[in-house]
Amino acid sequence: MATFKLRLSTKGEKTSDKKEVLIRLRHGKNIEVYAKSRIFISPKFFSEKESDIVIKSRIFTDEVRQANQTKSRLDALINHIAGEFQNSAKDTITSEWMQEVIDRYTWPEKYEPKQEEEETRKSFFELYDTFLTAKADLSPRRLAHYRVLQNILKRFELYTKCFLDLDTLSPETIQDIADFMRNEHTLFRTDKEGRTVPKGQYKHIYNLIPESRLPRPRGDNYIRSELKILRTFVLWAIRNGHSANNPFQKYSIGSETYGKPIYITSEERDRIYATDLSKTPMLERQRDVFIFQCLTGCRVSDLYRLRKDSITTDSRGTYIQYIPHKTIEDNPQIVKVYLNATALAILGKYADRFKDAPDILPLISQQKYNDTIKEIFRACGIDRIVPVLNPVTGQTEHKSIADIASSHMARRTFVGNLYKKVKDPNLVGKLSGHKEGSRAFARYRDIDDDMIKEMSELL
């Protein structure tokens, strides 16, 4: 069996302190040959005692990253030499033989000329940046989502010291990435001031690649959505000739799972609107905003963009008209919803307040709006217990509907109650801004006992 020993040359590069690694191959008593590896490393990363590149630094600088990459190259070279040695006649093994093996491996183009000069191979994250540049059709929100994954992957590298490479990305690596996302919140602790900060051994990770949000447990749906972005990147790289490796052929991401959409009935909605909240004017104002959203079905982001010029009157009545911001750069479609008497009364209530402004409703910050909706539900006695799917554990929990009430519940209320009456997903989707065949919209199709009874009567 061939054994290898490494040492550093006394000569180094002219532009740095790096020195070349020299390789000795020994086999039995008769074979002992030497060659230059063509690989250079800073002496501070080489251990003469261990005859190898040794990297002990916990601070993940560019220099440390390069040293790790150099060690990977050197290990791959030695494995290649060992394979060539195994397949060669032992009487041909000389220092010249080993040097030629190394040089053929290092500069294959000198020995096997190609028709066209190959482009310098880009690193994993250089390719990811190229990938994002190529996807010019991404909305700013979607692009930000892709950047979130990029930062997660960079922190994964720092945490595991596992260097990502498209050619070596494996199903096991993908699973390690999923596990890292699931457990990243455990890398933090609460300090004496009550702040959430990285644990000492992980500070360098978050100094280099900060996490903009406070860490919290991630559910399977979130992890699956991030892995789908990674799969999109891998498939893009394959299509564009950057790699032939597709680890997702043997790794199943699975589908997101969602619980039954929770929304209030038309009767509960009317009860909220009829409740006297005049003693708490702020709650009364936000109650009106919530009811208006229940009657129009727009997302909160679109609700906050509505202005007087969003309202038009024709022979059929008064309606709001807008292009959903979520799909404005994908498949923009105009959503048009006629306002009933209650919605018109709410607008009329605040007409004087905004007579000299383009606004139509007394809006507060979206976070405060969501918090206030919960207060409104409690004040109006809407507190029935509902089953809720915990996105982290995947288990069903039972909570008061007031505890989970939010602006999005107004949208679900619009869609759910309208679907019960109309039973036409395409028509309801046109009013809510969902695309035809939308998987998200499909979750709103609640077949309740009344609908089952109606369908049974058709038999």
Q: pLDDT digits over 388-428, tens only? A: 877 666 678 899 999 999 999 998 898 888 877 765 555 55
Q: pLDDT digits over 326-378, tens only? A: 665 555 678 888 999 999 999 999 999 999 999 999 999 999 999 999 999 99
**Confidence class of residue 237 from pLDDT cuts 50, 70 and 90?**
very high
Q: What local confidence, expressed as pLDDT, does residue 143 receive?
A: 84
Q: pLDDT digits over 198-230, tens only? A: 999 999 998 888 877 767 888 888 899 999 999
Distance CA(278)–CA(284), nearest Å, equals 6
Q: pLDDT digits over 12-30, tens only? A: 777 788 999 999 999 888 8
pLDDT over 70, % of the chain: 84
Lowest mean pLDDT: which of 58-67, 72-81, 363-372? Answer: 58-67
Lowest mean pLDDT: which of 134-148, 155-169, 403-417? Answer: 134-148
Joined tokens for residue 408: 């999005």
pLDDT at 117 over 70: no
Cβ atoms of 402 and 374 closer than 8 Å: yes
Q: What local confidence, expressed as pLDDT, does residue 452 receive?
A: 47
Task: Dihedral sign for Cα 256, 262, 263, 267, please.
Answer: positive
Q: pLDDT digits over 261-285, tens only? A: 889 999 999 999 999 999 999 999 9
Q: pLDDT digits over 102-116, tens only? A: 998 888 877 765 544
Q: Count Cβ atoms below 10 Å from residue 385 Cβ, excluding itself.
A: 10
Joined tokens for residue 9: 């040359």
Task: Dihedral sign for Cα 134, 136, 138, 140, please.
Answer: positive
Bridge partners of 15?
Answer: none
Q: pLDDT digits over 290-319, tens only? A: 999 999 988 898 999 999 999 999 998 999
